[in-house]
A and B are shown apart, each in its own frame.
Chain A
């Protein structure tokens, strides 16, 4: 029977962070995931606290930590250390992140012609982070035949002052659309297909030359150019370097609707870091049940394809992504079910789940639903005591946060994941794995 020191359920930012931290401390770690997580549909930045009232992520953490029941109340002080710890892991996977907790939150333009407040972004989006200089131009550059990026509509929207949320903005915004080699007559191109072409050095050189010519033909000079986030997948760093070298304006990627290349690169870097640390990830696994002895979790029973198998484990971390990730399921009768163990879920009454307007600035009360834990991320039962000694919950399944609306989900995920792992690996041994046993 396969066994592990720590089983992590979920392969998003929280689960992979927890797994890397546990593996680093020498534990045998297995990540079991139903599928890919929010990384693949998010913008690939690290959103710590992008709330309107905050000037920096640090300021945002402070404000959110003051909200009743917010996980930053007990995690907030760890965010800086968690970021410092994660950054080299990502860099080793070819994705440099810029910005820190004191970087001013900047209104970064998006591919629907809006802006989002961000401070910590991958290098490919970093050029969007600095304030706009007086007279600086923005060129929005699309790819002919690509249906997930509409430069005219984006540029028209970004010309409006109010979109920039009171921050600095470009002096001019123009749009162009460029035919890239071999793609001009194509239809139904997707972001991944274009990114893979950019990975090819020969194609890349001609494509970037074509982009450079088109951008140079736009009146004005310098400034920045917004491109759809398709600048490579395996070899993104090389594509970005070539773009920075040859384009006559500072390039930055605009994240798109899924599949998100910046998010896929983040996932790949996290996965590589975990594998380097000796852990493994199995995607396509459905959790059937978790076995326990009343005090401790003892095994996870998973199903993939046609087989069911049991992994004995010393500890379990649930990082299943809340409602969006499928870790919490809302029933029609108003109950919320935690899918792995049926843990108690803190949630508002069903009549109060959703506000009347989709975009209510106060958010929807249901967003804060989740699992209540102690400061070591142990879920708390109805009696106020931890449910199992060796069980932890991390990420968007935690109660008290609006991980989308408060733009804090990434900060909570990586900080809670790391703390969950550290608190487990500090727990005295007592797990079931025999030394030298074959890993799951």
Chain B
């Protein structure tokens, strides 16, 4: 077993919260290591709809959560503009939404400091003509869309610049407890199987819905209430503005434009195991029928895939009610830092639970404040003040930026590997240079290759070819295995996303892709007939 250099703090979990905690700890001078069992942002962070909340969704029920959202929304626009598309948001009152909710909405926004302006219905329909023409009122709020993987990457980059580190594909497999302290943690490299033992002074669990599993390693009970949310990706942006229904949050009432596609969310369903859940056709049908209240033609638009994530919902055991167990929407979206010293007698261990991506930085700040208090560190939090690495002040993302950058660089003369998402060979090379050993799934998240309307049908094997060519030039011995993994992994993941929504044009497309890859190119001959991959833990597809 290897021994790693001394770290002050171990952060468990490489979602947005973990990355935020890592950055904050690093900036306050604590040498920190983040570990993640898979790639960064493959848990709940990479499996949500991508909404940057204005807070409007919470104003009526949870004013505190709403206040936090708007405050963090303003901060993120400042520190991470490149990860945010400033789409703006409309809260629209459909004929089905209750008058009293709509009547009180603007006042509730103002009370929670959430900017909210009513605009004429005609103006909203002019900007978003696919909206239901029968909507009665429209409020404009500062919602947006946020790119989670890039956000994580820049948080980690900042932490590295401050002397800390992050390791992906390292699973925490055990912790040693000596009375009131955790004295060591053991990590397993998920690719090589090798073990590493580290001896941090403090452990922060940012494992979200998996927090109970981490706590159990040191005989501490954290009871999570994982809430599955299912989302649908459509092959087009039928709206350039985030659309929310102006009512008490429910299923299928939000549409978020994300890059070249749009995502309809969500459902709320309790699951026992955050690694085992399925999406049913009934759920998909229910989402679409709710979504049609916003976009009447929704059923005729092509669905690309369905995916689901699990919310890290938590309630203190004493406050758990029967209603909350039945309906996860009863559980607060606010976050809580669990002090396991006070609660469970483990002095150097905290867990952050609850929350949402929009408030990840604030969650990290609250967590790190507690850690610093316990370690006697007095450095203040600076994560809200400093722009993240690789970001340009005020330059938010817009859909045409890749084309614009390409043209600004002389343009035209680079192989376009992924036509849907405008990914060129130089871009893929640059990503692979920055991420040696990246899997094709990492490439997908990092570059968006294969995430557009063709869902990898035409770019998959080009990306695999580039990986093969580079691996060959680098003298790698597993070139073919890397290419297999690329192609088979892509096709399996794509199939998984299509399975619960199989119908219409997307099923036809799936059949055509089978015809090309199985019928024509013999893809099944690449399959090694052995045990199924361990990575197929989660039944639902990735985003």
Contacts and interface: CB of A to CB of B under 8 A. Distances in A.
Interface of A: 38, 41-43, 47, 107-108, 110-117, 145, 147-150, 152-153, 156-157, 159-160, 162-163, 165, 175, 185, 187-188, 255, 257-258, 260, 322-324, 326, 329-334, 350-351, 353-354, 356-359, 361, 366, 404-405, 407, 409
B413 A187 contact: yes
B152 interface: no
Interface in B74-108: none
What 10 pairs between A and B have smallest CB-CB spacing?
A153-B468, A150-B465, A116-B522, A358-B495, A114-B522, A324-B511, A156-B479, A114-B525, A152-B472, A43-B520
A175 B508 CA distance: 35
Given A156-B480, A187-B414, A148 B462 contact: yes
Interface secondary structure of A, over-half rule: loop
A111 B526 contact: no
A323 B507 contact: yes
Contacts of B284: 332
Nearest to B495: A358
Given A148-B462, A255-B520, A326 B414 contact: no
Among B480, B483, B484, the most chain A Cβ lie within 10 Å of the Cβ of B480
Nearest to A409: B519
A152 B469 contact: yes
A159 B480 contact: yes
- B interface residue count range (under 10 / 10 to 19 / 20 to 34 / 35 or more): 35 or more
B521 A110 contact: yes
A404 B515 contact: yes
Contacts of B494: 358
B516 interface: yes
Interface in B487-507: 487-488, 491-492, 494-496, 499, 501-504, 507
**Which secondary structure characterizes the binding site on chain B?**
helix
A188 B416 contact: yes
A159 B462 CA distance: 20
Contacts of A165: 525
Contact of A358 (B414, B473, B491): B491
A41 B514 CA distance: 11
Nearest to B417: A147
Contacts of A147: 415-417, 425, 462, 465
B464 A150 contact: yes
A324 B520 CA distance: 14
Nearest to B469: A152
B466 interface: yes
16 contacts: A42-B516, A43-B521, A111-B521, A113-B480, A114-B523, A156-B468, A187-B416, A188-B416, A324-B508, A324-B512, A324-B515, A330-B503, A333-B285, A359-B524, A404-B514, A404-B515
Contact of B504 (A152, A162, A331, A407): A331
A289 to B, nearest CB: 20
B149 to A, nearest CB: 24
B299 interface: yes
A356 B278 CA distance: 11
Contacts of B466: 150
B516 A41 contact: yes
B503 A331 contact: yes
A409 B413 CA distance: 40
Contact of B508 (A326, A358, A404, A405): A326
Given A113-B526, A330-B503, A353-B502, A42 B458 contact: no
Contacts of B484: 157
Contacts of A110: 520-522, 525
B504 A329 contact: yes
B467 to A, nearest CB: 8
A379 to B, nearest CB: 21
A115 B522 contact: yes
Nearest to B299: A332
B462 A41 contact: no
Contacts of B480: 113, 153, 156-157, 159-160
Nearest to A405: B518
A30 to B, nearest CB: 25
A150 B417 CA distance: 12
A330 B413 contact: no
A79 to B, nearest CB: 18
B519 A43 contact: yes
A330 B285 contact: no
B281 interface: yes
Interface in B512-542: 512, 514-528, 532
B469 A41 contact: no
Interface in B249-279: none
B326 to A, nearest CB: 26
B333 to A, nearest CB: 31
Given A152-B472, A153-B464, A332-B281, 15 more contacts: A41-B516, A112-B483, A112-B522, A114-B522, A114-B524, A152-B469, A156-B471, A156-B480, A255-B520, A257-B521, A322-B511, A356-B499, A358-B491, A407-B519, A409-B519
